[in-house]
A and B are shown apart, each in its own frame.
Chain A
Amino acid sequence: MTTAQILSRARQEKRTVLTEIEAKQILGEAGINCTSTVLATTKAEAVVLSEEIGYPVVLKISSVDITHKSDSGGVKVNLANKEAVEQAYDAIMTSCRAYAPEAEIEGVAVQGMAKVGTEIIMGMIKDASFGPVVMFGLGGVLVEVLKDVSFRIVPIDKADAEDMTSEIQGKKLLAGYRGQDPADVPCLQDMLVKLSDFVNETPGIEEIDMNPVFAYKDGAVVVDARIILSA
């Protein structure tokens, strides 16, 4: 489905929360690299898709009603074979039904296990006065505790994106710290500009999280994504 189709279907269904699969499809269309993520509506389908993608894989609950996927027991990672996928599928369904009995569950999202890189968060929020604003920061604990992030008002250009990545306190971590690979900072800047371009051209988006994004020596990939539409 195209971005326009996804957005119009969500509107028809009167929902403001997009699924991870929908969010990644939209971001992918905007030129932002996301882990390939596909929906399996049955256990058998989950196995077929896992084999297509190649082990190890991740299964995540796909439901617009369950926003805290980990808390609900809806995420199983590093699944190395058919048996592991089947067990994980059952475990996710049991746990999520118990966590949210009313939730409408469309299935599980199957995705390849992304190699761990420097953990980044990017996002967007619509401010009442400034309109869409994009954010960049180091993910994981650094964003939780230190809120080490930078913001810019949309639209941003390349120079703004460069300022965003160099403004954070922990920018040394991007350069590769203690033998870790450096992050592909130009690629991250390019993602920020694409994110800004996308929200600038697409009305009706309220919030976006790309969290985490894994940055490597060459390239970066969005591992999890959320899009919230304006009510």
Chain B
Amino acid sequence: MMDLFFKPKSVAVIGASGTPGKLGYVIVNNIANSDFSGSVYPVNPKSDEILGYKVYKSLTEIPGDVDLVITALPTPKMTVATLEECARKGVKAVIIESAGFAEMGGDGVGYQKQIVDIAKKNNIRVMGPNCSGIVSRNIVTSIYPMNKKVPKGNVVLIGQSGLLAAGMAADIVENESLNISKVVSFGNKCDVSENDLLEYFGHDDSVDVISMYLETISDGRNLTRIAKKVAAKKPVIFLSGGRTEAGAKAAMSHTGSIASNAKIVEAAVKQTGMIMADDFTELKDFAKVFSTQPLPKGNRIAVITLAGSVGVNVSDLCASHGLELPKLTLETTEKLKDMFDTPVSNPVDLYFSVTKIGFTKTLETTFPEAFRDANIDAAVLILAGFEYTQEAVQKKIIQKIVKEVGKPVVICMIVGYNKYKNVIMDEMGKELPVFPSLISGVKALSKLCEYGIRRQKLLVP
């Protein structure tokens, strides 16, 4: 059933419009600009043609089958009427993007219930209401214009947020900052919920990372069961909004008075092996690290820097995020003895090496030697945005070394001229996780290590 949303053969847009700027126009335009190759049926009683597509007066007038209906109608009442029409037409998947339902309270709650009743009775799966639907290469139903093709990536973002499939998706697609494959905003989730999508993307082998934002948890017991299964195979990054510390209810027991929604959600995250994100940027940043870097086998980090003070700061951050900075092996120390004025330690201060053989050469030879060390599982590399780093950036040396060594790296950039920093952020940032602060990089790496260690444990029976 879920395939009807993501791989439909025919799509009808109810409330389609020929007026640029209107929601009903943006949706049709987004579909037109996607790789969707099936039939597109705009529905509007007052138009004949929109963006070259023949317009139908009503859903029932459409000649063939309709796999997916997208509605963006001005009133809940019209939406309810449309759903009834969908039932008559035999449509099995509907995305309701309009607002005015349960999120508004009052009459909206009743309208949403009518939607649910019609859907149940007729085996229709409904996404929304109050959502922006899907952004993918194959189909875009979002109400926000996508100016470039959506990547065929390995990350999905799902959640109860219009922002995800609108502003955030547009940002990611335009800047190519994350290798997404699908973004799904499911709003009030009157039917299709996080559990359906987790299960669906859990089974989809083209998806390597799932990032999820929820404001309510429809069925936590089921979520726990599904997330545990999915997170054992692929990382599930979870941002939970609207958690409260208030007691779960007016409890009669001691246990009940201590239990809170926030504590229970946190317990579920730990129990299932999901990765907790604390804000929207982390939802994206963690996905970047998980989707581009291999999983480490442990939490032993090499900190690679040219500035002693930064090394000290990163060391402290590693300690507070559960990461270790072990000594390098004697073998490595011996190999690198000419590149350091004092025996190499961790943080690995490359300054002497850079003065001796230059920055590019140091990154090509000294850095991988330390990174390859048997005591090291992953690295934090501090990179500055100045002219002297540009050659190495252009030659994609770090990318090559990461690939060759097979261990994860995060790059933190805290100083530089914007013209060079932007190159690192934009260009290198397409392939590697680049962070504008030390704490964000260390935190993201700590999540990767935590998950890597959990996966290692799962391998041992």
List A residues at the B interface (Cβ < 8 Å): 17, 67, 121, 123-125, 127-131, 133, 135, 137, 143, 147, 149-153, 156, 160, 163, 167, 206-209, 211, 226, 228
User: Is the C-beta of B217 less than 8 angstroms from some C-beta in chain A?
Assistant: yes
List B residues at the A interface (Cβ < 8 Å): 216-221, 223-224, 248-249, 251-256, 258-259, 261, 263-264, 266-268, 270-271
5 A-B residue pairs with Cβ-Cβ distance under 8 Å, sorted by A, are A129-B219, A130-B217, A135-B255, A151-B267, A209-B254
Measured between alpha carbons, how far is A123 from B263 in the docked complex, in Å?
14
Known contacts A151-B263, A152-B271; A130 and B220 CB within 8 A of each other? yes
Known contacts A125-B248, A125-B256, A228-B252; A167 and B270 CB within 8 A of each other? yes
Measured between alpha carbons, how far is A45 from B218 in the docked complex, in Å?
52
Inter-chain contacts of A226 with B (CB < 8 A): 252-253
Inter-chain contacts of A127 with B (CB < 8 A): 220, 248, 259, 261, 264
- With both chains docked as a complex, state the minimum distance between the C-beta of B131 and any C-beta of chain A, in angstroms: 20
Interface centre among A206, A207, A209, A228 (most CB of B within 10 A): A207
- With both chains docked as a complex, state the minimum distance between the C-beta of A124 and any C-beta of chain B, in angstroms: 6
Partner of B259, one of A125, A143, A160: A125
Check B270 against A130 for contact (C-beta < 8 Å).
Answer: no
Q: Is the interface of A mostly helix, strand, loop or mixed?
A: strand
Measured between alpha carbons, how far is A156 from B252 in the docked complex, in Å?
23
- With both chains docked as a complex, state the minimum distance between the C-beta of B225 and any C-beta of chain A, in angstroms: 9
> What 5 pairs across the A-B complex have the smallest Cβ distances?
A123-B255, A130-B220, A151-B267, A129-B220, A207-B253
Measured between alpha carbons, how far is A156 from B223 in the docked complex, in Å?
14
Whose C-beta in chain B lies nearest to the C-beta of A135?
Answer: B255
Interface centre among B224, B252, B254, B271 (most CB of A within 10 A): B254
A121-B255, A130-B220, A209-B254 given; 4 more Cβ-contact pairs under 8 Å: A123-B254, A133-B264, A153-B271, A167-B270
Measured between alpha carbons, how far is A228 from B248 in the docked complex, in Å?
15
Interface centre among B223, B224, B255, B259 (most CB of A within 10 A): B255
Interface centre among A67, A163, A209 (most CB of B within 10 A): A209
Inter-chain contacts of A128 with B (CB < 8 A): 248-249
Check A207 against B256 for contact (C-beta < 8 Å).
Answer: yes
Measured between alpha carbons, how far is A208 from B255 in the docked complex, in Å?
7
Check B253 against A130 for contact (C-beta < 8 Å).
Answer: no
Measured between alpha carbons, how far is A131 from B264 in the docked complex, in Å?
10
Measured between alpha carbons, how far is A153 from B266 in the docked complex, in Å?
10
Known contacts A127-B248, A153-B268; A133 and B253 CB within 8 A of each other? no
Check A211 against B224 for contact (C-beta < 8 Å).
Answer: no
- With both chains docked as a complex, state the minimum distance between the C-beta of B444 and any C-beta of chain A, in angstroms: 23
Measured between alpha carbons, how far is A127 from B263 in the docked complex, in Å?
11
Inter-chain contacts of B268 with A (CB < 8 A): 130, 153
Check B259 against A135 for contact (C-beta < 8 Å).
Answer: yes
Known contacts A135-B258, A152-B267; A67 and B252 CB within 8 A of each other? yes
Partner of A133, one of B217, B252, B267: B267
Whose C-beta in chain A lies nearest to the C-beta of B271?
Answer: A152
Check B258 against A130 for contact (C-beta < 8 Å).
Answer: no
Inter-chain contacts of A167 with B (CB < 8 A): 270
Inter-chain contacts of A123 with B (CB < 8 A): 253-256
Measured between alpha carbons, how far is A207 from B250 in the docked complex, in Å?
11
Known contacts A130-B220, A153-B221; A160 and B264 CB within 8 A of each other? no
- With both chains docked as a complex, state the minimum distance between the C-beta of A129 and any C-beta of chain B, in angstroms: 4
Inter-chain contacts of B261 with A (CB < 8 A): 127
Check B255 against A209 for contact (C-beta < 8 Å).
Answer: yes
- With both chains docked as a complex, state the minimum distance between the C-beta of B269 and any C-beta of chain A, in angstroms: 10
Inter-chain contacts of A153 with B (CB < 8 A): 220-221, 224, 264, 267-268, 271
- With both chains docked as a complex, state the minimum distance between the C-beta of A146 and any C-beta of chain B, in angstroms: 10
Check B220 against A131 for contact (C-beta < 8 Å).
Answer: yes
- With both chains docked as a complex, state the minimum distance between the C-beta of B235 and any C-beta of chain A, in angstroms: 19
Measured between alpha carbons, how far is A160 from B225 in the docked complex, in Å?
13
Measured between alpha carbons, how far is A208 from B259 in the docked complex, in Å?
12
Inter-chain contacts of B271 with A (CB < 8 A): 152-153, 156, 160, 163
Measured between alpha carbons, how far is A135 from B259 in the docked complex, in Å?
8
- With both chains docked as a complex, state the minimum distance between the C-beta of B320 and any C-beta of chain A, in angstroms: 16
Whose C-beta in chain A lies nearest to the C-beta of B252?
Answer: A228
Whose C-beta in chain B lies nearest to the C-beta of A17?
Answer: B252
Measured between alpha carbons, how far is A52 from B366 in the docked complex, in Å?
79
Inter-chain contacts of B259 with A (CB < 8 A): 125, 127, 133, 135, 151
Inter-chain contacts of B218 with A (CB < 8 A): 129
